[in-house]
């Protein structure tokens, strides 16, 4: 009987198969009969469909010739076993499978018994083989009833053994995709499970990974040999004829675990050798210090089973790099390949060890300019904590000047020496080492200012100058000969990045052969581009894949375009601009936030309280968006006086449909002037208007009614009033805030509009813009002023007939939170009274700073956190939407503020 596995892949101990059409029952009946029985008894009783297939005399004789030495009954048993339905089938709705539609359709064309088309709804289930499987379909024709095994995809035989159904192509391609995309078996299973696709058993996936991985390694080796030969061919010059001048290569190493200056304990490392002419990988090496199978056997005190052990290192992680470099260089030397230059960092002894083993080689070591620059940047940044004058801008200027020195003096050691002297002295106003081709001071001595130093002024710190001279003049100048001959290992860094994507540092692939496959995949991607996948499929015997080719072509095109783009002058300028922009944004953010992350910051006893306080952002300067469907509601207030903290005595509002009015009993006495104007008086607990008793409500009752009136509109209304931006809004804000009702009110309205500003734009040049003057002159009506209801009605008529307000909505609308923001500005402005009095800044400048949510203490905090650059970044911050400067970028004002706090 065929071996049957459960859904989990385990061998079943239960009865392996069940037979179609009550075959078990027929066998039971056969056992009750004598041993010698005829085939026709079985066929006619329970299996009539065999008449039209294998049990017909003519077809049986044709299929099983007499010379096979098998009895007819034995042939019958073999054919019956082909009709078994396995017990481990899963129903069609259990999960999804990956299938090849054209291949599936071709198999459904005809039944193996009757040559009639098959139907998917007759399927009994699917036997799972990874993400694909075999579909079991019983022919729907009663006269046939044959069981058909339909493969969901194509299969192949990876080895010499051609037995069984083979390996589904898609399972092998899944393993290739896993290596190429840089995910592991667990991540792959998680991804497939989310899509409800049947996943591959771990052991089967490992077999498929080994199958495709072996091909990847073979192709990578061929690719490296081809580009090595091309590198050799390009090393011949016309002057030397057939004499090889020697190839130039660059080398670098990456580890599969992050290390620091104190600890390097990665279990594996990868080193690459790249030809400088071709820019392609010509060799690579791995060092692996662990093997999962060996370690598991050792823990059980057993001899490891026969396997392809990848462990080849027992030393420290630091010792991997020189060993790999020596092996690669020695390998080239053994092939009689002349090496002229080796470009690499100065962090290992690999080159020196190789020279000892290759005494006849004339190769020279070239330092990598990127590592040199990074080391300089690190040393300059280390000085920041010691020198306050060494801000981010100054440090960036120093590194920029050093980069110019190195780039402009290739092969010129004397130029390197003068350049380092000029780098330090130029920033301190000493130009004896400068040259006219780059120093602006020598071109224009009277008007020169530094373009990349704060305020364009010379540096002044003597201690900083001493440390810079130690770094550049005492340490770097003696290395001028070496620094004038720098190379680049940027191509190796590119390969290291690809390897890091395929074998992430957070995952451990080096205890098996998986890391070797992934590194070889990275080599192929660097050398051959993304087409290597379709070529790999072809080498295994699989279809290259139309979508695989299309995607590869697209990515190769993107890569070539990006390469050409990154080499253009415009792109480099844009990159520098964006880098400066990010640096400014970082300084600003760190100044606002304070010290948020620092080693052991939580253990510092003297941590300042203001260092955990954020400097507030700019207020929202977004333009008030007004919808044309919002209803217009005119309102007016009568108060106990002319102060913004007066009590409301009457509130009225109206639109074209509804009118609202409430008298409100004040807590403050009504002033004589206000009583004369409004006609409102209070006697005891009664309220009168022009001597007549009026109904009133308490403040919280009357304003609750007003909120109810506002909330009844379908859309949030626009509140319009005359001179409300200076008076009414503030009175309303103070009253509602005291009752804890302001937030509810502001959320119910769309915006405010002051009709005073409206008519200044509609009818400019009038002698007055009071409401009474506008009513008399524009409407020609007599005006009974200072009755809230009458005022609101007349203002609505004035706006409707003469205001043409629809054309000015967007320009005049201001936020419901304006009174709140204005109140905050007044509180902020009070903190500047001392500096205004001492004429450090003007009142107008202080008001501008207060409007931008800044108190005086915030300016001091910016200096404490970021020095002068912190102050500049804060006050010159630009609005994202309007581009306006937050307060000022005037150098004199900024310097005056900085000097004031420095003296404190």
Backbone angles phi, psi at 364, to 5 degrees: -125, 155
DSSP state of 274: E
How far from the centroid of its chain's Cα atoms is residue 553's Cα? 25
Burial 370-392 (b: 16+ CB within 10 A, else e): bbbeeebbebbeebeeebeebbb
Nearest to 741 by CA among 692, 694, 707, 779: 707
- Contact by Cβ (8 Å): 341, 248: yes
Residue indicated by tokens 């804890």: 740
SS3 state at 474: helix
Q: Count Cβ atoms below 10 Å from residue 58 Cβ, excluding itself.
A: 7
Query: Structure tokens of 717?
Result: 């209304």
Q: How far apart are CA 454 and CA 393, in angstroms?
A: 7
Residue 235's pLDDT is 81
How far from the centroid of its chain's Cα atoms is residue 122's Cα? 48
Taking every pair of Cα atoms in the chain, the longest distance, rounded to a whole number of angstroms, is 133
Residue 272's pLDDT is 95
SS3 state at 173: helix
Backbone angles phi, psi at 448, to 5 degrees: -75, 135
Residue 388's pLDDT is 79
Q: Count Cβ atoms below 10 Å from residue 199 Cβ, excluding itself.
A: 20
Nearest to 528 by CA among 229, 224, 183: 224
Query: Structure tokens of 775?
Result: 């009513």
Query: Structure tokens of 568?
Result: 């253009």
How far from the centroid of its chain's Cα atoms is residue 169's Cα? 34
Query: Structure tokens of 659?
Result: 């009118």
DSSP 813-831: -B-TTHHHHHHHHHHHHHT
Nearest to 84 by CA among 32, 34, 27: 27
- Contact by Cβ (8 Å): 528, 160: no
Q: How far apart are CA 709 and CA 719, in angstroms?
A: 12
- Contact by Cβ (8 Å): 797, 785: no
Q: How far apart are CA 732 and CA 730, in angstroms?
A: 5
- Contact by Cβ (8 Å): 122, 139: yes
HEC-encoded secondary structure of 141-169 = CCCCCCEEEEECCCEECCCCCCCCCCEEH
Residue 681's pLDDT is 92
Q: How far apart are CA 564 and CA 127, in angstroms?
A: 51
For the chain, how big is the Rg over CA atoms in Å?
A: 43
Q: What is the pTM of this model?
A: 0.72
Residue 206's pLDDT is 94
SS3 state at 349: coil
Query: Structure tokens of 96?
Result: 């999804």
- Contact by Cβ (8 Å): 661, 788: yes
Q: How far apart are CA 632 and CA 615, in angstroms?
A: 38
Residue 689 contacts by C-beta under 8 Å, 6 or more apart in sequence? 663, 678, 679, 680
Query: Structure tokens of 637?
Result: 């207030």
Q: How far apart are CA 615 and CA 612, in angstroms?
A: 10
Q: How far apart are CA 895 and CA 869, in angstroms?
A: 11
Q: Please report the beta strands in 690-793, taking only residues with DSSP state E, as ranges in sequence order.
A: 692-693, 718-721, 751-754
Query: Structure tokens of 694?
Result: 């009026």
DSSP 590-636: HHHH-S---TTGGG-TT--GGGGSPPPPPP--PPPP--TTSPEEEEE
SS3 state at 523: helix
Name residue 660's beta-bridge partners: 653
Residue 510 contacts by C-beta under 8 Å, 6 or more apart in sequence? 256, 267, 268, 288, 289, 290, 310, 503
- Contact by Cβ (8 Å): 486, 369: yes
Which helix (H) or strand (E) is 843 found in, with range?
helix 843-851
Q: How far apart are CA 209 and CA 187, in angstroms?
A: 15
Residue 33's pLDDT is 45
Q: How far apart are CA 600 and CA 604, in angstroms?
A: 7
Q: How far apart are CA 364 and CA 481, in angstroms?
A: 13
Terminal CA-CA length for the chain? 96
Backbone angles phi, psi at 578, to 5 degrees: -65, -35
- Contact by Cβ (8 Å): 753, 812: yes
DSSP 640-670: SSSSTTPPEEEEEEE-SS-EEEEEB--SSPP
Q: Please report the beta strands in 680-822, taking only residues with DSSP state E, as ranges in sequence order.
A: 680-683, 686-689, 692-693, 718-721, 751-754
Residue 270's pLDDT is 94
Q: How far apart are CA 173 and CA 201, in angstroms?
A: 15
- List per-block mean pLDDT (blocks of 10 residues) for the chain, which spans 904 residues: 47 44 46 39 34 32 33 35 77 94 94 92 94 94 91 92 90 96 94 94 93 95 95 72 76 82 81 94 94 90 89 90 93 91 88 88 89 88 85 84 87 88 88 85 84 82 90 88 88 93 90 94 95 94 93 93 88 86 85 78 60 81 64 93 92 91 93 90 91 92 94 91 93 93 92 92 90 87 76 90 84 88 90 92 92 91 86 89 87 90 84
Burial (0-12, 13-18, 19+ Cβ within 10 Å), 108: middle
Q: How far apart are CA 904 and CA 900, in angstroms?
A: 7
The number of residues making up the chain comes to 904
SS3 state at 6: coil
Nearest to 473 by CA among 509, 507, 423, 533: 423
């Amino acid at each position: 009987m065929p071996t049957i596995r459960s859904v989990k892949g385990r061998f079943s101990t239960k009865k392996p198969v069940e037979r179609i059409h009550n075959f078990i029952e027929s066998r039971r009946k056969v056992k009750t009969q004598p041993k010698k029985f005829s085939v026709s008894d079985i066929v006619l009783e329970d299996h009539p469909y065999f008449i039209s297939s294998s049990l017909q005399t003519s077809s049986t004789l044709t299929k099983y010739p007499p010379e096979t030495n098998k009895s007819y009954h034995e042939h019958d048993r073999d054919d019956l076993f082909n009709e078994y339905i396995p017990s481990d089938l899963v129903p069609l709705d259990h999960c999804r499978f990956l299938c090849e539609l054209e291949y599936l359709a071709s198999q459904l064309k005809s039944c193996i018994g009757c040559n009639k088309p098959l139907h998917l709804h007759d399927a009994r289930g699917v036997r799972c083989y990874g993400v694909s499987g075999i579909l079991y379909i019983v022919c729907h024709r009663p006269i046939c009833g044959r069981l058909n095994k339909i493969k969901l995809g194509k299969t192949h035989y990876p080895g010499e053994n051609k037995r069984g159904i083979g390996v589904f192509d898609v399972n092998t391609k899944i393993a290739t995709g896993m290596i190429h995309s840089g995910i592991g078996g667990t991540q792959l299973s998680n991804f497939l499970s989310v899509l409800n696709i049947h996943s591959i058993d771990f052991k089967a996936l490992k077999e498929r990974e080994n199958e495709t991985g072996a091909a990847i390694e073979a192709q990578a080796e061929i690719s490296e040999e081809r580009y090595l030969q091309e590198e050799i061919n390009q090393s011949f010059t016309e002057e030397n004829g057939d004499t090889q001048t020697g190839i130039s290569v660059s080398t670098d190493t990456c580890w599969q675990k992050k290390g620091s200056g104190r600890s390097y304990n990665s279990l594996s490392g990868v080193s690459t050798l790249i030809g400088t002419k071709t820019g392609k990988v010509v060799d690579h090496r791995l060092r692996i210090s662990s093997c999962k199978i060996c370690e598991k056997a050792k823990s059980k005190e057993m001899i490891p089973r026969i396997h392809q052990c990848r462990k080849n290192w027992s030393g420290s992680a630091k010792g991997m790099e020189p060993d790999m470099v020596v092996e690669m260089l020695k390998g080239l030397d053994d092939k009689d390949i002349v090496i002229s230059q080796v470009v690499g960092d100065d962090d290992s002894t690999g080159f020196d060890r190789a020279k000892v083993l290759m005494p006849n080689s004339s190769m020279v070591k070239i330092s990598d300019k990127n590592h040199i620059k990074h080391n300089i940047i690190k040393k300059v940044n280390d000085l920041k904590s010691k020198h306050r004058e060494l801000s981010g801008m100054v440090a960036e200027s120093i590194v920029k000047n050093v980069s110019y020195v190195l780039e402009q003096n290739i092969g010129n050691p004397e130029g390197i020496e003068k350049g380092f002297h000029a780098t330090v002295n130029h920033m301190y106003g000493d130009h004896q080492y400068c040259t006219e081709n780059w120093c602006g001071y020598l071109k224009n001595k009277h008007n020169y200012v530094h373009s990349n130093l704060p305020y364009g002024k010379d540096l002044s710190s003597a201690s900083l100058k001493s440390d810079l001279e130690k770094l550049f003049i005492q340490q770097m100048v003696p290395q001028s000969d070496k620094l004038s001959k720098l190379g680049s290992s940027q191509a190796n860094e590119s390969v290291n990045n690809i390897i890091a994507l395929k074998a992430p540092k957070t995952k451990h692939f080096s205890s098996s052969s998986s890391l070797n496959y992934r590194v070889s995949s990275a080599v192929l991607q660097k050398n051959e581009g993304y087409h290597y996948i379709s070529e790999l499929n072809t080498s295994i015997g699989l279809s290259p894949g139309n979508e695989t080719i299309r995607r590869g072509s697209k990515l190769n095109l993107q890569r070539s375009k990006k390469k050409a783009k990154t080499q253009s002058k415009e792109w480099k300028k844009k990159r520098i601009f964006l880098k400066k922009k990010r640096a400014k944004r970082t300084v600003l953010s760190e100044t606002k936030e304070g010290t948020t992350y620092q080693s052991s910051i939580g253990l510092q006893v003297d941590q300042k309280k203001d260092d955990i306080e954020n400097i507030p952002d700019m207020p929202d300067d977004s333009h008030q968006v007004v919808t044309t469907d919002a209803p217009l509601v005119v309102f007016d207030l009568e108060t106990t006086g002319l102060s913004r903290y007066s009590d409301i005595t009457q509130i009225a509002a109206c639109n074209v449909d509804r009118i609202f009015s409430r008298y409100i009993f004040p807590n403050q006495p009504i002033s004589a002037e206000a009583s004369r104007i409004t006609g409102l008086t209070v006697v005891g607990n009664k309220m009168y208007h022009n001597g007549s008793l009026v109904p009133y409500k308490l403040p919280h009752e009357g304003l609750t009614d007003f909120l109810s009136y506002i909330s009844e509109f379908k859309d949030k209304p626009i509140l319009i009033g005359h001179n409300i931006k200076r008076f009414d809004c503030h009175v309303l804000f103070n009253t509602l805030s005291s009752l804890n009702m302001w937030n509810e009110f502001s959320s119910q309205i769309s915006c405010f509009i002051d009709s005073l500003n409206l008519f200044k734009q509609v009818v400019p040049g009038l002698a007055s813009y009071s409401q009474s003057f506008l009513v008399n002159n524009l409407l020609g009506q007599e005006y009974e002023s200072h009755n809230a209801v009458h005022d609101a009605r007349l203002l609505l008529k004035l706006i409707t007939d003469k205001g043409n307000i629809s054309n000015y909505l967007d320009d005049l609308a201001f936020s419901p939170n304006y009174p709140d923001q204005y109140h905050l500005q007044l509180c902020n402005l009070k903190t500047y009274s001392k500096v205004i009095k001492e004429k450090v800044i003007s009142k107008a400048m202080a008001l501008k700073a207060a409007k931008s949510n800044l108190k005086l203490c915030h300016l001091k905090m910016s200096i404490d956190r970021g020095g002068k650059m912190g102050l500049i970044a804060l006050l010159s911050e630009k609005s994202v939407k309007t581009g306006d400067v937050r307060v000022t970028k005037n150098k004199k004002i900024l310097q005056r503020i900085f000097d004031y706090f420095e003296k404190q």
